[in-house]
Amino acid sequence: MLSQSRFLAIVRMSAIYDLVVTAGFMTPWTLMLLYGVLQGLDAGLGLPGEFAPLNTVSILFANLLGSVVVVWALARLHLNSALLGRYDAAARWLFAAWQFNALLNGASWLIIGFLVVEIAFGIAQLLPVREEQGRTAAA
């Protein structure tokens, strides 16, 4: 069982991770740079699976994802709420499901690194939290 302060530290760490990983997806220009780096990493490692080229629609959806995740991360950092950590756990399990689906459908195994982090934060943000004096833990 985690203390409230330890749980909130995990929520903050997950938000910082999201900012670092997804900020590059926010604009078409930064996406193109980040995607080039990821493609190079994928090719350099010789990983199985496809790293498909971007098109206008995939760029749009990547930019939408990046924008929403960055705003969500900033909200978690600013509000510092255990309840938001619980909601974030749900979002991480959804992301993990879609990443796993992509892997099953031939996507690059580079996604496995992201999948592992999603699962780890998804588990950590579902752990029980002990009530501290003067506070109550989120369910």
Which residues constitute the domain of residue 66?
Answer: 4-124
Q: Report yes or no on 34 lying in a domain.
A: yes
Is position 94 within any domain? yes
Give 38-68 pLDDT, tens digit per residue.
999 999 999 999 999 999 999 999 999 999 9
Whether 138 is covered by a domain: the verdict is: no
β-strand partners of 107: 50
Determine, yes or no, domain membership for 112: yes
Is the residue at 91 inside a domain? yes
| Span 68-104, pLDDT tens digits | 999 999 999 999 999 999 999 999 999 999 999 999 9
Distance CA 14, CA 121 (A): 7
Q: Is residue 132 part of a domain?
A: no
Whether 134 maps to a domain, the answer reads no
Q: What is the rounded average pLDDT of the residues 110-137? A: 88
